[in-house]
Chains A and B, each alone.
Chain A
Amino acid sequence: MVTDEKKQELLERLKNAVIQYDEDASKEASNEVVEIGMDANEAIFNGLVSGMEEVGRLFEAQEYFVPELLMSADALYAGLDILKPHVQQMDLGVKGSVVIGTVEGDVHDIGKNIVKMMFDVAGFTVYDLGRDVPLDKFIEEQLRTDSDLVCLSAMMTTTMVGMKKIIDEIKSKNPNVKIMIGGAPVSADIAEKWGADGYAKDANNALKDAINMVSSLKKMKEEADARKRA
C-alpha cells in the first residue's frame, strides 16, 4: 500500500526534476513509482506535467529561455519513458491521433518537438513527419492515418507562407480535421485568414495551446458521449 505521504514526496520529486532539468532525478523518482506500484498516470500528470507547467510559467516570466525548456523536456522524457509502459488507463479518455511536422523549406523543429511532447504525454498517437516536410506528405499522412489533428510548424517568415496551401488542401479533402499552426512568424490574424483552428506563437504558447486543445478535445468527446447516453 502506497502511503499518501510517499505519493506526495514522489510527485514533488518528479515535478522538481523537470523544473530543475535533472534527468537522473527524474529517472530515479520514476523507477521508485514503478517499484512501489504507484499509479503511473498520476505520476505523469501530477508530477512530470505539473513540473512542465511550472517551466512554462518560468518561460513566460522570462526566467527560463529555450535552452532550459529543452533540458526540462529531456528530464520529462527520461521519466515518461519509464512510466509509460505502466500506464493502465489514460486520464484524458480520448484516443486521439495527430500528424505533426515542420513545413518544407524549414529545418527548425524545436517548437514542433515541444508540442509533440505534450501529445505524447497525453497519450495521443503521434505521427511525427520531422522537418522540411513536403506539402503533399502532410495530406497523405492525414488521409492514411485518419488523424483528428494536423500541426504545422514554421520558424521563419520565409517558410510560413507554404502553410496556407496545406491548410486549404487538407480542409478541402476533410473539413473535420483540426489544424494548428505554430512558429515565431505566425499570428492569430494569419491563423484566421488561412483557416487554421489554432495557433501558437512560441514554444511556451505551443505548449499551452496543445494542453488547451487536448482538453477541449476531451470536452468535445465527453459532450458527445453525454449526448449518446441521453
Chain B
Amino acid sequence: MSETGTMTRRERVLKLFSGEKVDRPPCFSGMGNVTTAGLGQFGYKFAALHSDAKMMADAAAQTYRLTGFECGVVPFDLCVEAQALGCEINVYAHVDDILYPTIKQKIAHNEEEMGAITVPADFVKRGRIPLVKEALRLLKADIGGEVAVGSYVLGPFTLAGQIMELNDLLKLSFKKPDKVGKLLDTLADAIILCAQEFVEAGADYITVREMGATSDVLSPRVFKSLILPYLKKIFGAIKSHSVLHVCGKTNDIAGFMVESGATAISVDQKNDVAETRKKIGNALLFGNYDPYNVLVSGTTEVVRQAVRKCVEDGVDAVWPGCDIWPTVPVENIKAMLDEVTNYRR
C-alpha cells in the first residue's frame, strides 16, 4: 500500500512512541479492529477466529490491507489471561451474529477464594497465550514491515472482574481494600508475564486495558490508592512501548493515568480531550472517537468531523475509544484515514 507522508506508517507510530517529531498524527489502535468485510474475503466466521492463530493473524492484517488502517492488532477478545488462570470461556460458536467471548465459569466466588488466587507456574503455556503469540509472529511476518504490530492485556482490576463476580469485587474494594490490593498485585504479575510473551513474539506496543476502573464505576480516589500502584508495577516491567486505556469518564484520573508510567494514555469519547490536554501537558494522548456511533453508524462526513475534533482537541494519535465494531463500513475507515492525512490544525 502506498505511503501518504514523509514517513512510513510503521516509522510514524514508532517515532511517536519514542517521543520524536512526526509529520502528522498516526491513525491506529491498540484494541480490536477486525472487520466483517475482511472476514468475508477469507470466509472466516468471527467465533472461529479466537482459537486459530492463522485466522487471527489473517483477520488482523486484512483491516490494514482493505483500508490502510495503520496497525495490526491481535487478539480480539478480553478473556486470554482469565482463561490461562483457569476460567472457562464461551466463544458463542453457535451464534451467527458477532458476539465477543465471555467468561462462563469464574474461579473466585467469595473472599476466601479471592485470597487463594495464584499465578500457575506454567501460566504462559496455558490457555490461548501460546496461540496469541503464534498469531503475533504470523502477523509481524505478514505486515510488520509496513505497520506497527500491537497486542493488549487487561489491567489488574479489569482482570479481577473477569475471574470473580464484579459485584463482589466492587464491594470488597470498599470493605477490604487490602485484600483486593493483594489480588491485584498477584494479577499484575500474571499480566507482566503475558505482556512479556507478546513483546517477545513481536508486539511493538502493548495496550493495558483497565476498562473496569473508570470513574463511572470507581472514585478517582480509589483509582489512585488501590489501582495505580499495580499499574505502575506493570508499566515499569513492560519492555516495549505501552498504552494505558481506561473507558468512560476519565477526566478526573487522566493525571494518574500519565503517572502510571505508560508511554501514552488512551481515553474514549466521554473524555473532554481539550481539557485533558491542558491538564497533562505534553504527555502522549490517544483518542477519542466513538467506535460505534461515529465510525460504524455515522456517515463519512460525521467521521471526518470527528477526526477534526480529535485533532483540534489535541490528540497525538487518532485512535478509537474501544474495539471497533466489526460491521464498520470500509469507506468510513478510508474517510477517516483520508481526513487524518490531509487535515491540518
Contacts and interface: CB of A to CB of B under 8 A. Distances in A.
Do A and B come from the same complex?
Answer: yes
Interface of A: 62, 65-68, 70-71, 74, 104-110, 113, 132, 156-162, 165, 184-185, 187, 189-190, 193, 202
8 contacts: A66-B217, A105-B99, A106-B102, A110-B166, A132-B90, A158-B323, A190-B293, A193-B297
A165 to B, nearest CB: 8
B97 to A, nearest CB: 7
Given A105-B100, A159-B100, A66 B170 contact: yes
B218 A65 contact: yes
Contacts of A132: 90, 102
A104 B95 CA distance: 10
Nearest to B247: A184
Contacts of A66: 170, 216-218
Contact of B291 (A105, A110, A157, A165): A157
Nearest to B249: A62
Contacts of A104: 92, 95, 99
B130 to A, nearest CB: 25
Given A65-B218, A157-B292, A190-B293, A71 B325 contact: no
Interface of B: 90, 92, 95, 97-100, 102-103, 166-167, 170-171, 173-175, 215-219, 222, 247-248, 291-293, 297, 322-323, 325, 327
Contacts of B174: 67-68, 71
Can you list the 5 inter-chain pairs with the closest CB atoms, starting with the nearest? A105-B99, A67-B174, A67-B170, A66-B217, A65-B219
Contact of B292 (A71, A74, A160, A202): A160
A163 B97 CA distance: 12
A68 B98 CA distance: 34
B325 A158 contact: yes
A23 to B, nearest CB: 11
Nearest to B211: A156
B323 A157 contact: yes
Contact of A107 (B103, B175, B292): B103
Given A67-B174, A107-B102, A184 B325 contact: no
A158 B247 CA distance: 13
Contacts of B100: 105, 156, 158-159
Contact of A70 (B170, B216, B247, B292): B170
Nearest to B76: A158
B262 to A, nearest CB: 22
A71 B169 CA distance: 12
Contact of A202 (B216, B222, B291): B216
A159 B99 contact: yes
Contacts of B217: 65-66
